[in-house]
Chains A and B, each alone.
Chain A
Amino acid sequence: MNFDFSDDQKFLKNEARKFLDANCPTTRVRKVLDDDAKAYDADLWKAVAGQGWLGAAIPEAHGGLGLGHLELCVIAEELGRAVAPIPFASTVYFLAEAIMLAGDDQQKAELLPKIAAGELIGAIATSEGPGVVTASNLQASVVDGKLSGVKVPVTDGDIADVALVLAKENGKAGLFLVDLSDAAVVREAVKTLDPTRDAAKLTFKGAPARRLGAAGEGFELVEQIFDRAAVLLAFEQTGGADRCLEMAKEYAMERYAFGRLIASYQAIKHKLADMYVKNELSRSNAYYGAWALNTNAQELPVAASAARIAASEAYWFGSKENIQTHGGIGFTWEMDCHLHYRRSRQLSLVAGAPRVWKERLVSHLERRNVEAA
């Protein structure tokens, strides 16, 4: 049994923590939070590219470090902990993963090196409005290689160079790569719950689109891409949830009420114990997801669903109860509690809400049981 990260991977995690402590304190995160014109921290993005993290899981032949997904997982955990205001997930977990999963040789050769070098920001565009996008309500369409339709919200859609867009072609869903600098693309930033992660409404008016993967398999591909992203997002969420517990503990160990440290009250102790339990369940499920992702195991859809559900629950619980532990001061803009409250919402929604993942999980379990019977 070796259900843990290796010493090298732990070393990388430790280095990532040091790097982000130095380069991404929350004072830096707040520069993005407080400035509507600032969609992300471009300097941090460059620095992160310089660390090689963008290409951690990209093969060396395509300009990456050729490490593996386990390395990417430990980096993700640290990015989540730091509430990093950069388009890492959009570019790496979604676009790069999609290209590695389904791209042809030319697409890989063209795009992966740019991603690894930090020269290309990516985005994934599936949602078109409130609720879940399905085959029956998908509107965006591609005719003769030209995409028309509206996608909203697209995380990082206002700063991305390339978007991966879910659209119909000949009545069947497919995934399409679209250069967002094209004149036939209109981008409008939308306000988001988490201003440190921007989003846009993208209107396509006949923009050139290249298909990624097989025709008609758009939804299947989206599921596979989301499975991969879900594991990596789960590490970000676990990192954020752990930070919430630390913040709550630090505050509870300094704050007095009724002549006692508030950390000495069982109401607070039990709250923090519950945070700890949820965080451990999140971490253990995320580890299994990491194993499934790294080995491309058949169990990936189930493992990814479990990781996403556990991590969404842990980060939500941690972020809201961290505010509660702080009391009034936790409700102020100045305290960092709301950075996590906001990010926990962003991460829970960006690859589909937990409700949707719970349904997917049970569907997979049903199928597995039928096959086993």
Chain B
Amino acid sequence: MDFNDTPEEAAYRKQVRDWLEANAPKAREGSADPEAGDGMAASKAWQAKKAAAGYACITWPKEWGGQGGTPVQQVIFNQEEAKHPIPGNPFQIGLGMCVPTVMTFADEATKKRFVGPALRGEEIWSQLFSEPSGGSDVAASRTKAERVDDGSGDWVINGQKVWTTGAQFSDYGIVIVRTNPDVPKHKGLTMFWLDLKDPGVEVKPIHQMSGGSGFNEVFFTNVRVKDSQRLGAEGDGWKVSLVTLMNERLAVGGATGAGWSQFMETARKTPGLDGASALQDQSLREKLADWYVQAEGLKHTRNRTMTALSRGQTPGPESSIGKIISAVQMQELANTAVEMLDQYGIINDGELAPLDAAFHWSLMFAPGLRIAGGTDEILRNIIAERVLGLPGDIRVDKDVPFKDMPTGR
């Protein structure tokens, strides 16, 4: 048991370090938060540089611009890259979920057209799954595609998607739509790729409760797509979506805002009871210990995952626990920090609140993180069913034609 790279990993890390040293930006341009949308030029420039050197998607085959590398090499690159003031990454969803789906299901010409520009950051992709009527229950999607009755084989899409990350600066998307309402919900779905600049596509940023607008509503009004834009067979949309979603939870697990160490530093500087530092408050110290232990547990769980990858094994189910812990901790830690400030905690002004109001930002963003990419409840279902092997939920809509399913709000 050790934390050392194998000789091959060490050599790769050295190569990556040298390359980053020579090529990575020396100062951050724009915000590190891709949601902010500024610094897009810097993001695209950095992506192009990585793509030219084969570092954009290391595990992809060489013919598609990757290195045919291992997951461990990708992790090593990520670790080293994070040490530099790199710009935000608005390409993750596209390169992690959408483009792999295109690569799996599209024809050669389509792949040739889209993979390269996406890899180089020239074109950005969105994933259009959630709808107002179904977030956790994506298979209940109502947005529909109907064949145009003119012998062209084209489809016309009508409906609405929601919570589409980055759609406001995206060029293309993959969309799951209902093509047959007469069969049970999972069986009547089909996946398409489409141009988000097409007429009839309207992107409206959502004004989130946190104040930001990283997510969007996307409306489709008679959007015409070619049958060649279909990904997978008609009616196979659900199966195709599983390929797309395979990586989502890993992609969403990360960012958690201010953590235990920022809390500790803030507590040290904040007066507590009797004028002593708040860090001397026993109730806060206990919470701090719990957060540290959780954060360390997740860190070392990632180390276990990395070890499995390093040995060429498939990581165990332990990697599924990340977001359940980190999203809830983000919320609790932020709220405790704000309460620690006592009356002053009301102030949300970055000029006045500690750490540029980082805890306040976390407090207001955490409710979204607990929902995005699988709610706390869905993730518990996934652990219960896929990890522990407990029975699936009873599905009252399993054998009901989609058009006969009860609908509420």
Contacts and interface: CB of A to CB of B under 8 A. Distances in A.
Contact of A277 (B265, B289, B299, B324): B324
Contact of A306 (B296, B304, B391, B394): B296
A12 to B, nearest CB: 14
A358 interface: yes
A1 B391 contact: no
Name which of B5, B288, B290, B388 has the most chain A CB atoms within 10 A of its CB: B388
A274 B320 CA distance: 12
Interface string A38-78: 00000000000000000000000000000000100000000
7 contacts: A4-B1, A270-B381, A277-B321, A281-B297, A287-B303, A306-B293, A365-B288
Nearest to B5: A1
B293 A285 contact: yes
Given A3-B3, A291-B1, A362-B285, A266 B297 contact: no
A361 interface: yes
B4 interface: yes
Residue among B268, B300, B380, B387 with max Cβ neighbours from chain A (10 Å): B300
B122 interface: no
B344 interface: no
A290 interface: yes
B307 A3 contact: yes
B318 A263 contact: no
B261 interface: yes
Contacts of A272: 384, 388, 390
Nearest to B302: A284
A249 to B, nearest CB: 6
Q: Which 6 A-B pairs have the closest CB atoms?
A: A281-B297, A358-B289, A269-B384, A284-B300, A273-B380, A3-B303
A269 B380 contact: yes
Nearest to A6: B1
A6 B1 CA distance: 7
B262 to A, nearest CB: 11
Contact of A284 (B9, B285, B318, B390): B318
B300 A3 contact: yes
B393 A266 contact: yes
A280 B1 contact: no
Given A3-B300, A285-B300, A369-B264, A309 B1 contact: no
A26 interface: no
A252 B264 contact: no
Interface string B300-319: 11011011101100000010
B321 A276 contact: yes
Interface in A60-98: 70
Contact of B264 (A253, A290, A359, A365): A365
B313 to A, nearest CB: 10
Contacts of B380: 266, 269-270, 273-274
A365 B2 CA distance: 23
A264 B264 contact: no
A287 B292 CA distance: 16
B9 to A, nearest CB: 7
Contacts of A263: 390-391
Interface string A125-164: 0000000000000000000000000000000000000000
A273 B382 CA distance: 9
Contacts of B292: 306, 361-362, 365
B325 interface: yes
Nearest to A246: B388
B119 to A, nearest CB: 27
Given A273-B387, A284-B297, A359-B286, 17 more contacts: A1-B5, A1-B310, A2-B310, A70-B1, A245-B388, A272-B388, A280-B297, A281-B297, A284-B300, A284-B303, A284-B318, A287-B304, A291-B1, A291-B3, A309-B290, A313-B293, A362-B288
B325 A1 contact: no
Interface residues of A, number: 49
B300 A288 contact: yes
B353 interface: no
A285 B297 contact: yes
A3 B304 contact: yes
A266 B394 contact: no
B321 A2 contact: no
A3 B1 contact: yes
B279 interface: yes
A94 to B, nearest CB: 23
A224 interface: no
Contacts of A324: none
B32 interface: no
A368 to B, nearest CB: 10
B182 interface: no
A294 interface: yes
A294 B293 CA distance: 20
A369 B288 CA distance: 14
Contacts of A313: 290, 293
Given A4-B304, A277-B325, A359-B285, A270 B377 contact: yes
B385 interface: yes
A260 interface: yes
Contact of B321 (A245, A280, A306): A280
Nearest to B282: A359
Given A2-B307, A269-B390, A287 B324 contact: no
B371 interface: no
B383 interface: yes
A288 B1 CA distance: 9
Nearest to A311: B293
Contacts of B388: 245, 249, 269, 272-273, 276
A252 B2 CA distance: 38
A245 B390 CA distance: 12
A87 B390 CA distance: 37
Interface string A303-334: 00110011001000000000000000000000
A369 B261 contact: yes
Contacts of B311: 4
Interface string B356-400: 000000000000000000000101110111011111111000000
B383 A276 contact: yes
B306 A285 contact: no
Interface string A12-33: 0000000000000000000000
Interface centre among A4, A287, A362 (most CB of B within 10 A): A362
Interface in B211-262: 261
A273 B279 CA distance: 33
Given A2-B307, A266-B393, A362-B285, A273 B384 contact: yes
A6 to B, nearest CB: 8
